[in-house]
Amino acid sequence: FSIACQRCYQRIYALPIDGHHEDTMKRRLLLLSAAAALSLANAPAVAQSNWNLAAGYPIGNPHTVTLNQFAKDVEFATNGKIKITVHANGSLFKVPEIARAVESGQAQMGEVLMSVMVNQNPVFGVDSLPFLATGFDDAYKLWQAQKPVADRLLAKRGAKLLYAVAWPPQGIYAKKELRSAADMKGLKWRAYNPATSKIAQAVGAQSLTIQAAELSQALATGAVDSFMSSGATGVDSKVWETLTHFHTVNAWVPKNMVIVNLRDFEKLDKPTQEALLKAAADAERKGWERMRGYTDESLGILQKNKMTIVKPSPQLMGDMKKIGDEMLGDWLKQAGGDGKEIIDVYRKK
């Protein structure tokens, strides 16, 4: 590499020839380091991917805490090759849009409430069947049975499953104590997936589908006065500002899953893929632990804010179980061989 002296036009290489070439020497060094920086930036070995992760729940929610930790772990484990920006609270895409956004590559990654995907395939809704799995241990077993099938279906849709974490068990929020399904008739019921809409239909409530990010507002305006969810979402939406009772029905344990666009994943080199999968496995383990711990903590926060925690009456439980049996029967018919495989594996464990 040589440059010409701007005074005498002599080509200058590494060593100065005489006094007036000192400036030319400096220019040469400057150009050399700029060239080096440029070639470093272009080298495939340090290519960096900036990925967006669309998520549906607020910053303080344990799912979002797990996501942020995961993003940090991935950046560290891949030496900065993958940098993930978490967009919480539905700020990039709303919960029901996230799966499609990732499958089509509009976002590289997303956190999906699995059971909103039942319209794509009934298999995604197995975790929202009332009383099939009602605590974390059973929910984890059910997840082990569901995972290979979900994996397969997602791959066909252009996404790769990274990890899934449960929400706390689902109970019923209302403005009064509900002693039976008959007490639920006429409620203005907020639904978050097809299963919660079906329950409204079964008890004669009017249902409106609203995702968690808009729930506080829907409660404040009186658009809804009751819903099924976890203590976690009750805390997120400061439910005590409008409602008074939480019935610990523990009807099911739904999950969020984190997925990545399949082509973006396949473009990564092997070690980077492995680092990403390892971080995902860690996130899954820590995420379940975190949510288990948060279950009682969130009920404590509801109580501190003067909510009444109701142990549901035998009548209410019986009524809900009847609805659950019907839903399981319908689901088994719709989910066919895949559904049967999941339930068989789950019941053997």
Contact set with ligand PCA (CB under 6 A) = 113, 167, 192, 211-212, 229-230, 232-233, 254
Rounded Cα distance between 150 and 155, Å, is 9
Q: CB of residue 262 vs ligand PCA: minimum separation in angstroms? A: 26
Smallest gap from residue 324 Cβ to ligand PCA (A): 17
Spatial separation of the C-alpha atoms in residues 96 and 277, rounded to whole Å: 25
> What residue type is 251 in one-letter code?
A
Q: Which is nearer to ligand PCA, 122 or 254 (CB)?
A: 254
Q: How far is the CB of 102 from ligand PCA (least distance, A)?
A: 19
H-only helix segments in 221-313? 231-236, 262-266, 270-304
Nearer to ligand PCA, 89 or 121 (CB): 89
Q: Between residues 113 and 218, which has the closer beta carbon with respect to ligand PCA? A: 113
Please, which residue, 27 or 94, has the CB nearer to ligand PCA? Answer: 94
Nearest-5° angle of CA 215, CA 221, CA 227? 40
Q: Which two tokens stand for residue 52?
A: 């967006």
Task: Give the 3-state secondary structure of residue 302.
Answer: helix
Minimal CB distance residue for ligand PCA: 230
Q: How far is the CB of 230 from ligand PCA (least distance, A)?
A: 3
Provide the residue type at 182 as one letter. Answer: A
Q: Between 239 and 260, whose beta carbon lies closer to ligand PCA? A: 239
CB of 35 to ligand PCA, least distance (A): 53
Query: Measured between alpha carbons, how far is 172 from 243 in angstroms, rounded to an integer?
Result: 11
Q: Select 75 or 214, whichever has its Cβ closest to ligand PCA.
A: 214
Q: Which is nearer to ligand PCA, 121 or 295 (CB)?
A: 295
Indicate if the alpha-carbon torsion angle 122, 123, 128, 130 is positive or negative.
positive
Question: How many other C-beta atoms are found inside a 10 Å radius of the C-beta of residue 245?
Answer: 18
Contacts 24+ apart (CB under 8 A), 313-320: 313/179, 313/180, 315/179, 315/180, 316/178, 316/179, 316/180, 316/181, 316/183, 316/247, 316/249, 317/249, 319/180, 319/181, 319/182, 319/203, 320/130, 320/131, 320/181, 320/199, 320/249, 320/251
User: Least distance (Å) from ligand PCA to the CB of residue 238?
Assistant: 14
Q: How far is the CB of 47 from ligand PCA (least distance, A)?
A: 37
Tell me how far, at minimum, the Cβ of 56 lies from ligand PCA, in Å.
Answer: 8
Q: Name the residue among 1, 12, 31, 2 with its Cα closest to residue 20.
A: 12
Nearer to ligand PCA, 254 or 339 (CB): 254
DSSP state of 307: P
